[in-house]
């Protein structure tokens, strides 16, 4: 993961001025966004136009996912029969749970009766852990994307691991990846330079031969590159040589060692979203050429595990909403937010706040989890082209979707800091639309690490979740829905069509 930002920063890092370009008026820092009008600061009018005529493909059922280091597999496997992880996963519906990261190559080895632990490994995965992960998958309804190590070239051991995973998971094994960020092996000293995609494909072909001998037909995914900058070469070679069931790669918008240092403003900037769009376009160009689904199987805010005060704040939820809806709109097959169950200070949707909670399997919903809960409401919907118009340039995320029953869903996120003037939004919907229900995602400030609420509610300790019935509604008028959005907040607006007029029957007299 650490190398991901280093290879994609030139493409994906916003400029030092990012996040300060909008020109929206700001109140004194001690003021609340809710006092904008009373302080004489009027809301900025913004129009969001939606084109319903050319909807994209439905958002896949398993679009949402989580990613953890391979080193966390043993810990998480213990939560199949206790703790709240099963209930948390169920609350998102079916998804994909990935185990990979740098530890899949550098630290974790397969070990069973035929495979002793190698000297280089600090921990192992064995049949017991995979059987427990199989139980977790079946009880939660989630599939597993498993990474086997390639940095230490051991095809026979990898084949035994995949065969055991196939037995333990059955249909819940989504696919197997061979190696994590293999495009960076030369820079890490795992391969001699020049290290090219062609050499990688030759080696994983040997892995596949060993795997097919023990577990024929197991689906393969890859090449799991560190960023889109490598994908033109590596994705192309993977598609041609391996015919994977999905193409995979990573995305981190900011780097832990970049200059200038990461900030919340840079994370939420429109420049960062533009760079992410360019990155997604690079990935999807290759995927569409070969008609293979693309999954961003590892992504989060800042590489190297994140930065406290940014990655663990409400700003990370606002960023996640923007990136998830962007990937949905562009046609990606899914995303996996990277996390660490034992570190609440970095990036992670779920974590245990202390060693006791980690042992018990009691995980806490972090701000990014609320972004997943909100975007869960879009699964199965079809993205629509969306245009933002305003006299200034609001730092606003807007994504719209066509939902069953001719309803319309619009996701909005105002990424300006607290104290900026609010937005007076006008959503252009068709004249046939009626009542709009508003589900808001809020926190005290983008920098807040607690106090996040979706629909006025927080995720309970047991991990259960039922989407609140929105108590805020507004009627469409002349094909337009008007609402206000405060800075540092998000909302899901669901607009239903007007009820069909009743046709009165005239009784005939006999």
If asked whether residues 183 and 324 sit together in one domain, one would say: yes
What range does the domain containing 406 cover? 27-55+381-497
DSSP for residue 341: T
- Taking a C-beta distance cutoff of 8 angstroms, is the pair 380, 338 a contact? no
Residue 213 is predicted with a pLDDT of 98
**Is residue 338 a contact partner of residue 347, using CB atoms and an 8 Å limit?**
yes
**Between 18 and 255, where is the model more confident?**
255
Query: Is residue 415 domain-shared with residue 340, that is, in the same domain?
Result: no
Whether residues 49 and 68 fall in one domain: no
Cβ neighbours for 71, distance < 8 A, ≥ 6 positions apart: 101, 103, 107, 108, 123
Same domain as 198, residue 259: yes
Chain centre distance of CA 59: 13
pLDDT of residue 470: 86
Average pLDDT over the chain, rounded to an integer: 91
104 in a domain, yes or no?
Answer: yes
In a domain, 72, yes or no: yes
pLDDT at residue 345 in the model: 98
Looking at 354, 376, 398, the residue that finishes a domain is 376
Residue 4 belongs to a domain? no
Higher pLDDT, 39 or 74: 74
Q: How confident is the model at residue 458 (pLDDT cuts 50, 70, 90)?
A: very high
Residue 12 in contact with residue 251, Cβ under 8 Å? yes
Domain limit, last residue, from 328, 350, 376: 376
Within-domain flag for 489: yes
> How is residue 416 annotated by DSSP?
S
Share of the chain above pLDDT 90, in %: 87
The neighbour count for residue 510, using CB atoms within 10 Å, is 3
Domain containing residue 479: CATH number: 2.60.40.1180
pLDDT at 170: 98
Query: Residue 266 falls within a domain, yes or no?
Result: yes
- Residues 6 or more apart whose CB falls under 8 angstroms from that of 460 comprise none
Residues 438 and 315 in one domain: no
Instruction: Give the pLDDT band of residue 418 (cuts 50, 70, 90).
Output: confident
Q: What share of the chain is helix, strand, coil (3-state, %, to 5)?
A: 35, 25, 40
Q: What CA–CA distances, in Å, run from 18 to 395, 437, 458, 493? A: 10, 33, 31, 28
Q: Which tens digits make up the pLDDT trace of 383-393? A: 999 999 998 88
Does residue 399 sit in the same domain as residue 339? no
How many independent structural domains does the chain possess? 2
Shared domain for 180 and 108, answered yes or no, is yes
Share of the chain above pLDDT 70, in %: 90
- Regarding whether 481 and 413 lie in a shared domain, the answer is yes
* Residue 44 domain flag: yes
303 or 501: whose pLDDT is higher? Answer: 303
pLDDT tens digit sequence for 169-190: 999 999 999 999 999 999 999 9
Query: Do 402 and 442 sit in the same domain of this protein?
Result: yes
Domain membership flag for residue 3: no
| Tens digits of residue pLDDT in 275-326 | 999 999 999 999 999 999 999 999 999 999 999 999 999 999 999 999 999 9
The answer to whether residue 13 is domain-embedded is no
64-69 and 96-100 beta bridge pairing:
parallel
Give the integer Cα–Cα distance in Å for 347 and 341. Answer: 10
**What are the C-alpha distances in Å from 351 to residues 98, 248, 360, 365?**
16, 25, 12, 7
The terminus-to-terminus CA distance of the chain in angstroms comes to 82
- CATH assignment at residue 332: 3.20.20.80
- What's the pLDDT band for 242 if we cut at 50, 70, 90? very high
Among 348, 376, 404, the domain-final residue is 376
- Where do runs of H (alpha helix) occur along 195-269? 197-214, 231-242, 264-267
User: Are 132 and 198 members of one domain?
Assistant: yes
Average pLDDT on 340-363 reads: 98
Facing residues of 385 across strands?
Answer: 51
76 and 143 both lie in a single domain = yes
Q: Is the peptide bond before 194 cis (omega within 30 degrees of 0)?
A: yes
Could you tell me the maximum CA-CA distance found in the chain, to the nearest angstrom?
97
State residue 187 phi and psi, 5-degree precision. Answer: -75, -20
Same structural domain for residues 31 and 153?
no
Report the alpha-carbon distance of residue 338 to residue 323 in Å, rounded: 13
């Amino acid at each position: 993961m650490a190398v991901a930002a280093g290879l994609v920063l030139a493409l994906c890092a916003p400029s030092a001025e990012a996040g300060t370009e909008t020109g929206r008026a700001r109140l004194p820092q001690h003021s609340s966004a809710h006092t904008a009008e009373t302080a004489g600061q009027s809301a900025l009018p913004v129009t969001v136009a939606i084109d319903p005529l050319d909807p994209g493909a439905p958002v896949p059922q398993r679009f949402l996912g989580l990613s953890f280091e391979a080193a966390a597999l043993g810990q998480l496997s213990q939560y199949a029969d206790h703790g709240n992880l099963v209930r948390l996963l169920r609350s998102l519906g079916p998804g994909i749970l990935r185990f990979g990261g740098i530890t899949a190559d550098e630290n974790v080895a397969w070990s069973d009766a035929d495979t002793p632990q190698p000297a280089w490994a600090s921990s192992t995965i064995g049949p017991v852990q995979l059987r427990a992960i199989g139980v977790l998958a079946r009880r939660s309804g989630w599939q597993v994307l498993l990474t086997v190590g390639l940095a230490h070239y051991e095809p026979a051991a990898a084949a035994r691991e995949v065969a055991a995973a196939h037995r333990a998971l059955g249909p819940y094994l989504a696919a197997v990846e061979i190696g994590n960020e293999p495009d960076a092996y030369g820079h890490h000293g795992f391969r001699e330079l020049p290290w090219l995609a062609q050499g990688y494909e030759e080696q994983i072909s040997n892995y596949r031969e060993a795997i097919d001998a023990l577990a024929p037909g197991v689906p393969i995914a890859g090449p799991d590159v560190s960023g889109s900058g490598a994908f033109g070469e590596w994705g192309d070679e993977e598609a041609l040589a391996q015919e994977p069931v999905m193409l995979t790669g990573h995305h981190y918008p900011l780097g832990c060692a970049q200059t200038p240092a990461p900030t919340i403003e840079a994370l939420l900037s429109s420049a960062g979203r533009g760079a992410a769009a360019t990155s997604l376009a690079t990935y999807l160009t290759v995927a569409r050429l070969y008609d293979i689904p693309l999954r961003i199987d590892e992504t989060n805010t800042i590489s190297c595990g994140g930065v406290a005060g940014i990655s663990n704040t409400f700003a990370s939820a606002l960023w996640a909403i923007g990136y998830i809806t962007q990937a949905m709109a562009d046609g990606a097959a899914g995303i996996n937010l990277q996390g660490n169950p034992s570190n609440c200070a970095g990036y992670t949707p779920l974590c245990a706040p202390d060693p006791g909670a980690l042992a018990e399997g009691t995980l806490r919903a972090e701000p990014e989890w609320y972004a997943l809960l909100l975007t869960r409401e879009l699964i199965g919907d079809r993205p629509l082209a969306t245009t933002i118009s305003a006299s200034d340039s609001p730092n606003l995320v807007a994504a719209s979707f066509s939902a069953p029953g001719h309803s319309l869903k619009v996701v909005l996120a105002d990424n300006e800091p607290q104290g900026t003037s609010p937005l007076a939004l006008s959503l252009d919907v068709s004249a046939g639309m009626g009542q709009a229900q508003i589900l808001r995602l809020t926190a005290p400030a983008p920098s807040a690490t607690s106090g996040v609420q979706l629909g006025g509610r927080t995720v309970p300790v047991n991990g259960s979740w039922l989407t609140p019935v929105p108590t805020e509604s507004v009627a469409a008028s002349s094909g337009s829905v008007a609402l206000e959005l405060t800075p540092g907040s998000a909302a899901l607006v669901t607009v239903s069509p007007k009820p069909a007029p009743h046709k009165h029957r005239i009784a005939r007299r006999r």
